[in-house]
Structure 1
Amino acid sequence: MKYLLVQEDENGVEQLWGKCAGVEGLFVDPVPPPREVLTLRGCRPDGPLSYILADPDVSPRGLGDVCVEVWDDEQPVQWWTLVDAVVVAHQPHPTDPSRYDIVVGAGVRNEESFFEVPAAPRFELFAGTTVAAAGWCSAVDGLFKPRADPAPVPMELIGCEPAEPLLAVLRRPRARERDWVNLLMLDRHGAVMASRTVGLAITGARPSVLGGTLVDIALTDGGDDRPSPVARLIWEKWYQGAPAEPNMWAPYDAQGRAAWLDLTTRAWRVPVRRPDQLGGEHHLDGRFVTDVPGLHCAIAEALLGPGRYFGREWNAFIDCLCGGFGVAPPFTLVWHHSEVARRALSDVVEDPQGQLSYFEDIVRLLEHRGVTVLLR
């Protein structure tokens, strides 16, 4: 059995729902929302958006994913994502030449809408891996309209050995509200290497193709919390056991390295926490730091060892520097071959003022948190 189905109660205690030998449909790319054209009206651009408007010759003029916060007079009340947003055109706003009307192409995804749209909303924009402020605008034409839900992508649990809670779900009428469980993948030694949330919207169950008393359970939709097919090779590598050698992430591209970082998030969740190590000297092998995920793989490896977690992006890295993850400042970080990252990340600018590259920003952050950084 390679998978466990568990559900946590309100106290965080896990209850076993079943075991499975395999899962069909675990690795899928999310269905992208259809592309639309929207107009940001009366916009005061900042950060990454202002950089694009300042240099009209830049092409393609992509912003990545843009978070749109809808504010009332006091607080945000709705959150939207403009997926893979691209600036198509812009012009001065008719009533205020200091502001702009910006036309973007993007997929649109509603994240949270707990409240109705305010009578006079304000729209805050954020973009980039550090979720930097990108400005604000007075309206977003085309944002508030009905959209069809994406087609569900089914999943099938193969060779299941249901425990009593799952047996009860299989016996009850289909009209009942579905349950949510955590699908835990085990490595060959029986250790949990990954966890994904799965909704038990069951469309059918039959005797398993593996025989015996096992059953195969078909789900209408495996949910959005599934790894990309790109991650399959990474998961196969980790299935043999947690990494024991440095730089095993290095052969993969940025997407593969991001999948590697995703698996490291289980590494710090151990039952017994040891106090953070303070002081000492850590050595970072910078030969393969050619992208942002590679930078975070290398830093975590330098501080804690292969396969360990110390943040997977800017904000998570800041949290780790605050302590509780095995190492905390002050300490010394000797960054060997630092010029590799300096060159590779010279065009990755996430600083809101646009003055520093991602590499320079990381070094500055470390130094501000009490780390002595020695670039070699």
Structure 2
Amino acid sequence: MEQLWGRCAGVEGLFVDPVPPPREVLTLRGCSPEGLLSEVLAEPAGSYRGLSDVCVEVWDDEEPVQWWTLVDAVVVAHQPYRGDPARYDIVVGAGVRKEEGSSFEPPAAPRFELFAGTTAAAPGAGRCSAVDDLFKPRADPAPVPLEVIGCEAAEPLLGGTQRPRRWTRGSADLLVLDRHGAVMASQSVSLAVTGARPSVLGEGLEDITLTDGGADRPPPAVRPVWAEWYQGPPTAPNGWAPYDSQGRAAWLDLTTRAWRVPAPRPDRSGGEYHLDGRFVTDVPGLHCALAEALLGPGRYFGREWNAFKDCLAGGFGVVPPFTLAWHESETSRRALADVVEDPEGRLSYFEEAVRLLERSGVTVHLR
């Protein structure tokens, strides 16, 4: 059962960039490079071209069991692998982050797949036989605090403000309201109170410092997206189009709550829908446009591949069979030509999306 612990006028520190992990030096042993990693090795020594984020997927005999991210990886040096001169030992500098949802203990006989990026559509970058120092324990980065301004606290939070530094109650959801009072987003925050003081906004209110404002806060770069949604859920089409991929991804994040308001009605099927493909120049743009075509501006129909498949199975407002007219489809095809969801299938994200729609019972007309 939900319990209201307080209301506040504002929050400082809601938008923060993630704290980067400390830099380390690791060696990728016995690498067979592909794609971007192969291109970097072919460049002159000392070029120090970055790889951006590299996903290291750790397999046991049958399936991947761990995922690690080498954050802002840079090739520092490389040399032929002693066991096979066609392969390389590659020294990289990077921050190291273990992704959630995977075990910590390495498999007895692991193998390592590399990807140039951290999304499901990231292209392969090769494979290697070992990664030195990957599995060592690491301390979590220090949390970034959050300042709650002008808070009208209720129990039990009120009791915590009277005993700061000695009071903690796990976590809670910070609900962010738009100008009409509707919930536009939520953020999980720790309820460890570092400090409390009379508010700058007046008598009876408090300004409260929470030790940890949460790890998944939106970055400052997407503040304009939130500012737009603060006015209320969008009603005009293509509001997401002016933003870059990061901004469009933030737009999709906000639709995940908006689709529940008002409460979903029974799925409808049949009819023809029109997708405006003029601005589908990246994967987030594709999912923005699909949702808008099927349900209207600001609505949700998946924000990545697996969620998109789930939506096509029903429960989100529209279910096949229906017809989708994809206008300016060649723009989408060209923009997503090098984005591959299934490396084994070798189809682009655009082609995979069309195939999934058709297999799900959608008649797709590319125009």
Please state whether the residue corresponding to 1:16 is helix, strand or coil.
coil
Classify the secondary structure of the residue corresponding to 1:218: strand
Choose the corresponding residue for 2:82, options 94, 97, 100. 94
Other-structure match for 1:370: 361
Mapping of 1:152-163 within 5 angstroms?
A: 152-163=143-154
Matched residues in 1 for 2:41 and 2:320: separation?
42
The share of aligned pairs that are identical, in percent, is 76
What displacement does 1:196 show?
A: 0.8
Q: Residues 114, 310 of structure 1: CA spacing in aligned structure 2 closer, same or farther, 3 A cutoff?
A: same
Per the alignment, residue 37 of structure 1 pairs with 25
- In the alignment, which of 207, 217, 232 is matched to residue 223 of structure 2? 232
Judge conservation of contact 1:207–1:213 (CA < 8 Å) in 2.
yes
Deviation sequence 1:167-206 (CA, Å, 0-9, x none): 2333457345542011111111111000111112211101
The 2-side partners of 1:368 and 1:90 are apart by: 45
TM-score by length of 2: 0.86
Please tell me the residue identity of whatever aligns with 2:69.
T
Go from structure 1 to structure 2 and tell me whether the alpha carbon gap of 1:299 and 1:224 turns closer, same or farther (over 3 Å shift): same
Query: Could you give the per-residue CA deviations for residues 290-328 of structure 1, whole angstroms, max 9, x where no partner exists?
Result: 222111111110011000011112222122222211112
Aligned residues: 361
TM-score, normalising length: structure 1: 0.84
CA 1:320–1:247 in 2, change beyond 3 Å: closer, same or farther? same
Which residue of structure 2 aligns with residue 182 of structure 1?
A: 173
1:243 is displaced (CA, Å) by 0.5
Q: 1:53 corresponds to which residue?
A: 38
Q: Aligned letter for 2:14?
A: L
Q: 1:88-237, aligned counterparts within 5 Å?
A: 93-96=81-84, 100-112=88-100, 114-118=103-107, 120-125=109-114, 128=117, 129-130=119-120, 134=124, 136-172=127-163, 174-175=165-166, 177-237=168-228
Do 1:193 and 1:266's aligned partners in 2 also have CA atoms closer than 8 Å?
Answer: yes
Matched residue type, 1:53: S
Q: Per-residue deviation at 1:103?
A: 4.0
Gaps of 5+ in 1: 1-12
Structure 1 pair 360–71 and aligned structure 2 pair: CA distance change class (3 A) = closer
Alignment counterpart, residue 281 of structure 1, candidates 248, 254, 272: 272
C-alpha distance 256-73 of structure 1, shift in aligned 2 (>3 A)? closer
What SS does the corresponding residue of 2:56 show, helix, strand or coil? strand
- Which letter does structure 1 place at the counterpart of 2:216? D
Q: Deviations over 1:44-84 (max 9, x none)?
A: 66xxx457538965899766544434456677665422224
Moved more, 29-38 or 230-239: 29-38
The question of whether the paired residues in 1 share the 8 Å contact of 2:326 and 2:364 is answered with: yes
Deviates more, 1:343-352 or 1:216-225: 343-352
How far 1:358 moved relative to its partner? 2.2
Deviations 1:91-148 (A, max 9, x none): 6543246755444443211234755445544445455422568465432113134545
How many Å apart are 1:279 and its aligned residue? 1.8
My pick for the range that moved more, 164-173 or 361-370, is 164-173
Residue 369 of structure 1 aligns to which amino acid in structure 2? Answer: S
Q: Distance in 1 between matches of 2:265 and 2:21?
A: 44
Gaps of 5+ in 2: none
Is 2:317 the counterpart of 1:326? yes
Contact 2:190-2:213 at 8 Å conserved across structures: yes
Deviation at 1:366, TM superposition (A): 1.7
- Structure 1 residues 232-241 or 344-353, which shifts more? 344-353
Deviates more, 1:266-275 or 1:98-107: 98-107
Alpha carbons 1:77, 1:115 under 8 Å: kept: no
Per the alignment, do residues 189 and 173 of structure 1 end up closer, same or farther by CA in structure 2, a change over 3 Å counting? closer
